Amino acid sequence: MIKTIEYIDGIVRMIDQTRLPVEKQFIDCRTIEEVGHAIKTMVIRGAPAIGVAAAMGASLGADSIEAASFEDFYHAFEEKCDRLGQSRPTAVNLAWAISRMKQTAQKNKSLPITQLKSRLKEEALTILTEDITTNQAMGQHGQTLIKDGNVVLTHCNAGALATAGYGTALGVVRAAANAGKNIKVLANETRPFLQGARLTTWELKEDGIPVKLITDNMCGFFMNKQEVDLVVVGADRIAANGDVANKIGTYMVAVLAKENNIPFYVAAPVSTLDLAITSGKGIPIEKRSSEEVTNINQKRISPEGIEAEHPAFDITYNHLISAIITENGIAYPPFTESLKALANQK
Ligand code: MRU
């Protein structure tokens, strides 16, 4: 299994996703600040993976604090966590993981500081293992929506690399393949950061799951020829009404799927739900640098002086979504009721 992130003796080791597929290199983070930098620069990306990295970063941050009382410890811990929480704004798993680490500290305030630090490390490791089992459960639910011989289109990378392992949307694909279904994947390249071209194709190839790469502007062509049976994507944040924030371009894919009567599914853990936000309009959209659009592999593809827009995510409105697959089951419209029911299920 692909190990996107792991903890080894005071070190958080991550696959450097900016270098894939050309080379498989690892980056070692020894401080919370290094973890924050890795999240910002996309060494690690994908909502659940960002959450796991944040929890591990918080544990490294806790280890570096020298304090005699819980109050002094917590003051420094909260400050470090809040700074880490600003590294990327759209994926709610970042705030979710940090809040879980803060709650763990509060619940264990009576422990001596050294034991509290061990407890925080344990919690970060629990978040990692839970993420994998969550994805496997999501895969089991989701694969029931896939038939033998289906072609599945996906956008961005919502796979093992975007999680602690197995993946959300690609977890559904993996579960279908493991159930003996013959399936093929069409992967949108996902401009501008090319997560589809670089990462989705890489990890499906590693697993021997047939995949073909297409450019983003080809997906309507294949849908219209009835060469796509269903779409499955991941999510960075899901509002209470089922509006979904995901990689820029997802909205376009969903509109095309609707136009061509193709089911459009979102696979995401309950930790990606943000029921405090009523609709997609309230979800913050990260703006990334112009250079990620004007340059490919550090090579400029547009004239000097041309500025580019770069919203990193968009909102897919709930009427375009056929179902949302979670580890607790599949939510169907109307999502306000079905998501709340799944979120409250243990
Ligand atoms: O900018 P990224 O690469 O972090 O964006 C990732 C996505 O949009 C994924 O689809 C989403 O996080 C779900 S990952 C299981």
Concatenated DSSP letters of 136-173 = HHHHHHHGGG--TT-EEEE-S--SGGGSSSS-SHHHHH
Helix count (H) and strand count (E) of the chain?
A: 12, 16
> What spacing in Å lies between the alpha carbon of 162 and ligand 1's midpoint?
6
Which of 247, 273, 285, 313 maximizes ligand 1 atoms within 8 Å of its Cβ, making it the mutation to test the pocket? 247
Distance 148 CA to ligand 1 centre (A): 27
Q: Are residues 289 and 168 in the same domain?
A: yes
Query: Do 43 and 165 reside in the same domain of the chain?
Result: no
Which ranges constitute the DSSP H helices of the chain? 32-40, 47-63, 70-84, 92-107, 113-142, 169-178, 195, 201-207, 219-224, 250-259, 291-294, 335-343
Per-residue confidence (pLDDT) for residue 21, from 0 to 100 = 97
Token pair recorded at residue 261: 């009567």
- The answer on 227 and 211 residing in a single domain is yes
Q: Are residues 99 and 156 in the same domain?
A: no
What domain count does the chain have?
2
Cβ contact 200:154 at 8 Å: yes
- Verify that 67 and 180 share a domain, yes or no: no
Residues 180 and 256 reside in one and the same domain:
yes
In the sheet with 151-154, reading across from the earlier edge strand, the strands are: 211-214, 184-188, 151-154, 230-233, 264-267, 323-326, 329-331
Residue from 131, 132, 135, 157 to probe ligand 1 pocket by mutation (most atoms less than 8 Å from CB): 157
What confidence tens digit (pLDDT) does each residue in 53-92 have? Answer: 999 999 999 999 999 999 999 999 999 999 999 999 999 9
Which atom of ligand 1 is least distant from the CA of 91? 12
Atom of ligand 1 nearest to the CA of 313: 8
Nearest atom in ligand 1 to the alpha carbon of residue 48 is: 15
- Does the reported pTM lie above 0.85? yes
What is the best residue among 2, 41, 195, 264 to mutate for testing ligand 1's pocket, by most ligand atoms within 8 Å of CB? 195
Query: Which protein residues are within 6 Å of ligand 1, measured from CB?
Result: 45-48, 91, 156, 158, 162-163, 168, 195, 234-236, 246-247, 312
| Phi and psi angles of residue 130, each rounded to the nearest 5 degrees, phi first | -60, -35
Tens-place pLDDT, residues 87-132: 999 999 999 999 999 999 999 999 999 999 999 999 999 999 999 9
Check whether residue 203 and residue 239 sit in a common domain.
yes
User: How far, in Å, from the CA of 312 to the mean position of ligand 1?
Assistant: 10
Which one from 236, 243, 274, 314 is the annotated catalytic residue? 236
pLDDT of residue 30: 98
Distances (CA, A) of 315 to 40, 195, 291, 310, 339: 21, 18, 23, 14, 17
Name the residue with the closest Cα to ligand 1, atom 15: 158
Q: Out of 136, 151, 172, pick the residue that ends a domain.
A: 136
Same domain, 121 and 145: no
Joined tokens for residue 91: 């994926």
**Does one domain contain both 72 and 200?**
no
Residues of the chain with pLDDT under 50: none
DSSP state of 92: H
User: Do 111 and 166 reside in the same domain of the chain?
Assistant: no
| 156 and 78 belong to one structural domain | no
Task: Ligand 1, residue 288: give the atom nearest the CA.
Answer: 1
**Burial bucket for residue 66 (CB in 10 Å: 0-12, 13-18, 19+):** exposed
Q: Based on the domain organization, do 129 and 143 belong to the same domain?
A: no
Looking at 102, 136, 170, the residue that finishes a domain is 136
**Domain CATH for 33:** 1.20.120.420
Q: How far apart are CA 3 and CA 129, in angstroms?
A: 11
pLDDT at 1: 78
Q: What is residue 2's predicted lDDT score, i.e. its pLDDT?
A: 82
Domain end, chosen from 80, 104, 136, is at 136
341 CA to middle of ligand 1, Å?
25
What is residue 184's predicted lDDT score, i.e. its pLDDT? Answer: 98
Q: What are phi and psi of 272, to 5 degrees?
A: -90, -10
Q: What residue numbers bound the domain in which 278 lies?
A: 139-343
Looking up residue 171, the CATH number of its domain turns out to be 3.40.50.10470
Question: Which are the contacts of 272, defined by CB distance < 8 A and separation ≥ 6?
Answer: 47, 48, 91, 92, 93, 235, 236, 237, 238
> Which residue has a Cα nearest atom 10 of ligand 1?
234
Amino acid, res. 312: A
Q: Are 47 and 234 in contact (CB under 8 A)?
A: yes
In the residue annotation, 236 being an active-site residue is answered as yes
pLDDT tens sequence across 272-290: 999 999 999 999 999 999 9
Whole-number Å distance, alpha carbon 103 to ligand 1 midpoint, is 26
